């Protein structure tokens, strides 16, 4: 996105400064993830919404800080998520708990969550503090739901969507809303962008889950099928499950499933499970687009629409 | 403390309500620690300060909520601390990561931290949010410092005190200050109670560390010497180290130290290391008392003084 290139570069510089800990281990643990790159999709969305809903088309200092805070919370959640999922690699590089150990990873995550709370408080906007603090509660709730439905072949699509909201969409929805709060947008606009973020976030998670099945390890930066191997049953599989009893049996016998993950992927690919998952992702993308299309007719809206389409194009 | 008996009972009831998660596992993991009792020393201190610094001697709803938030943060830090220290028992009962597993413990801790942030934001006082959010950053910093100086026989008393501030005293100092902020006390009083909390917190930690060496397992609710066994070198040992080279050697060979923890405790007991540690604890208690004595001459101050003396009497 050309219009926010400078802001994204500044975000990267600031993130390094913001996580500066007195302690070198904490610093390098935290830094590792920021260095790993990532697509910075969340800040991109927030910057575009900042411009879209402000009168002077300028992203305020507070909105830039909010995007940084959101990225720190996201990173903290990844560090703890990798412990919970026993994930060794992320974005092609080793995870914190692999390079250091579980203990350092627990603390590095805590430290990042704490730093984000500190910067959040210093935004001096209670409405924003309340909106953003909801994200971390939802994240923990989502992760535990995921743990409880591990290898549970009875999981429904509704439960999967709920889990995805808590784990992923809540962060995007709440931070989109908070961005408009900082622009003093009216409640209606705030709620619109909450819904935009919610649908985009759900689509985002479903697309990620499809890529876990269809993608190549080198593109994913982690082994293909690694979610499934952890017992995290996602849309493509849930839609397949109704049809292929062999897959069901494999999941019920967790070890067999883990050992035959490639066979499981093959079964999923041979059904219309992936197509059905794509349909739901597309549905949420359309709901997101419906909210912004026509209402905000300028360059930034065009970019936000482009970004929204870009996400769904990853699986086309 | 008779004057705040009702408030402490209400605190226990409210804590159970506040941690109610949609998820039963999160709930029981969190509940376990609240049920384990604990002496509720932190809320007691805060309630007494609330009364002491208010004109009408009434503890406000916000101050009660602040005490609850502080107890939730404290509990969250214990859950993560127990993972980091591999601690199996706390207050005589099994720890969360032992009953469930590391993963659930990481998430239960995150959930509690998140809940505390949420309730904190809803106190609607930015000054308080800023003061309290500092606690969690300090906690993570302290835990990592502890990890880095594990089995490091070169650790100085100053490093030990710094670590203890981050780990323990920051929470008490910041929450004492926040209580006076809620009473709209002037900056001078706010800083006084920050210092009171800081010295009390340091004494508190030093006393705990002495008890780890001198106490009986049944009174401690965990094996005696368990801090030392984890490589967490504390005041009584640091003061002994200068004299007994055998102890030094045992620590440098971590395994020998772990296997001979009782011999190590015996060596410490036979020197004046414990007395020196007691002297520092006493010094901090005196500094704490100096701040409040004479300035606030009513019943609540008498109770706060009694509580302060009570802490030091645990090792007399």
Q: How far is A69 from chain B (nearest CA, A)?
A: 14
| Angle (CA) B269 B273 B275, round 5° | 90
Nearest alpha carbon to residue B198 among B167, B165, B160, B163: B165
Distance from CA of B121 to the nearest CA of A (A): 5
How far out from the chain centre does Cα B176 lie? Answer: 13
Q: Which two structure tokens, joined as six digits, stand for B248? A: 């030094």
Which chain A residues touch B137 with a CB distance below 8 Å? 111, 114-115, 117-118
d(CA A41, CA A312): 13
Phi-psi region of B87 (alpha: psi -120 to 50; beta: other; left: phi over 0): beta
Task: Convert the pLDDT of each residue in B58-70 to its tens digit.
Answer: 999 999 999 999 9
Model pLDDT for residues A69-104, shown as the tens digit of each residue: 999 999 888 888 888 777 777 767 777 777 777 778
Report domain extents, chain B. Answer: 2-313
Return the percentage of chain A with pLDDT > 70, whole number: 92
**Helix or strand run (H / E) with residue A286:** helix A273-292
B193-211: per-residue pLDDT in tens? 999 999 999 999 999 999 9
B107–A147 CB contact, under 8 Å: yes
Mean per-residue pLDDT for B47-67? 93
Least confident segment among B35-39, B214-218, B248-252, B259-263? B35-39
Residue pairs spanning A and B at CB distance below 8 A = 132
CB contact at 8 A, A15 and A70? no
Are residues B115 and A137, on separate chains, in Cβ contact within 8 Å?
yes
| Mean pLDDT to the nearest integer, A197-217 | 92
**Pairwise CA distance, residues A105 & B80, whole Å:** 11
Q: State the complex-level ipTM.
A: 0.83
- pLDDT in the model for residue A16: 82
Q: How far is A203 from A234, CA to CA, in rounded Å?
A: 13
User: Which residue shows structure tokens 């009694």?
Assistant: B306
Within 10 A of A27 (CB to CB), how many other CB atoms are there?
Answer: 17
Q: What percent of chain B has pLDDT over 90?
A: 42
Substitution target from A24, A131, A137 for chain B, most B beta carbons within 10 A: A137
State the average pLDDT over residues A300-304. Answer: 79
A2-313: CATH topology is: Farnesyl Diphosphate Synthase (1.10.600)
Which of these ranges, A41-50, A110-119, B109-118, B247-256, has the smallest mean pLDDT?
Answer: B247-256
Query: Which of B79, B112, B96, B23 minimizes the C-alpha distance to A142?
Result: B23
What is the pLDDT, as a whole number, of residue A19? 78
DSSP class of A167: I
Q: Phi and psi for B93 in degrees, rounded to 5? A: -120, 160
The overall average pLDDT reported for chain B is: 86
**Per-residue confidence at B94, pLDDT binned at 50, 70, 90?**
confident
Task: Say which of B23, B136, B147 has its CB closest to residue A114.
Answer: B136
* Beta-carbon contacts of residue B221 (< 8 Å; ≥ 6 apart): B89, B90, B91, B92, B93
Given a cut of 80, whether residue B124 has pLDDT beyond it is yes
Of B282, B173, B288, B286, residue with least CA distance to B235:
B282
Cα A280 to chain centroid, rounded: 17
Q: Considering only CB atoms, which residues of chain A are within 8 Å of chain B?
A: 21-23, 25-26, 80, 83-84, 102-104, 106-111, 113-115, 117-118, 120-122, 124, 126, 129-130, 133-134, 136-137, 139-141, 143-145, 147-148
Q: A269-294: per-residue pLDDT in tens?
A: 998 999 999 999 999 999 999 998 87
pLDDT (mean) for A2-20 = 86
Phi and psi torsions of A93, nearest 5°: -120, 160
A140:B110 CB<8 A: yes
Residues 6+ apart with CB under 8 A from B210: B235, B236, B274, B277, B278, B281, B315
pLDDT at A79: 86
User: Cβ–Cβ of B110/A111 closer than 8 Å?
Assistant: no
Ranking A163-172, B100-109, B162-171 by mean pLDDT, the lowest is B100-109
The 10s digit of each residue's pLDDT in A173-185 is 999 999 999 999 9
Query: From chain B, which residues contact A within 8 Å (Cβ)?
Result: 21-23, 25-26, 80, 83-84, 102-104, 106-111, 113-115, 117-118, 120-122, 124, 126, 129-130, 133-134, 136-137, 139-141, 143-145, 147-148
Residue with tokens 């384990």: B36
Chain A residues lying within 8 Å of B118, measured CB to CB: 130, 133-134, 137
Q: What is the DSSP string of A238-262?
A: HHHHTT-HHHHHHHHSHHHHHHTHH
């Amino acid at each position: 996105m050309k219009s926010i290139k400078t802001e994204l570069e500044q975000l990267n510089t600031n993130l390094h400064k913001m996580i500066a800990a007195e302690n070198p281990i904490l610093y390098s643990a935290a830094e590792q993830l920021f260095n790993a790159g990532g697509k910075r999709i969340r800040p991109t969305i927030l910057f575009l919404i900042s411009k879209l809903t402000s009168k002077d088309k300028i992203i305020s200092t507070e909105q830039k800080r909010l995007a940084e805070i959101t990225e720190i919370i996201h990173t903290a959640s990844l560090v703890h998520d990798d412990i919970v999922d026993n994930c060794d690699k992320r974005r092609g590089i080793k995870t914190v708990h692999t390079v250091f150990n579980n203990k350092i990873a627990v603390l590095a995550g805590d430290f990042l969550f704490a730093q984000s709370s500190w910067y959040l408080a210093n935004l001096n906007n209670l409405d924003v503090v309340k909106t953003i603090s909801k994200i971390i509660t939802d994240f923990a709730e989502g992760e535990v739901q995921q743990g409880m439905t591990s290898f549970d072949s009875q999981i429904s699509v509704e439960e999967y969507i709920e889990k995805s909201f808590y784990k992923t969409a809540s962060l995007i929805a709440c931070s989109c809303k908070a961005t408009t709060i900082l622009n003093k947008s009216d409640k209606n606009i705030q709620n619109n962008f909450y819904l935009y973020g919610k649908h985009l976030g759900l689509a985002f998670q479903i697309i990620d889950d499809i890529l876990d099945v269809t993608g190549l390890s080198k593109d994913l930066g982690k082994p293909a099928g690694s979610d499934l191997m952890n017992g995290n049953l996602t849309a493509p599989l849930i839609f397949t499950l109704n049809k292929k009893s062999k897959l069901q049996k494999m999941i019920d016998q967790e070890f067999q499933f883990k050992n035959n993950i490639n066979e499981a992927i093959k079964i999923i690919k041979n059904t219309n499970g992936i197509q059905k998952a794509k349909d739901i992702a597309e549905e949420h993308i359309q709901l997101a687009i419906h909210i912004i299309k026509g209402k905000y007719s300028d360059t930034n809206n065009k970019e936000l629409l482009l970004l929204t389409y870009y996400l769904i194009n990853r699986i086309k």
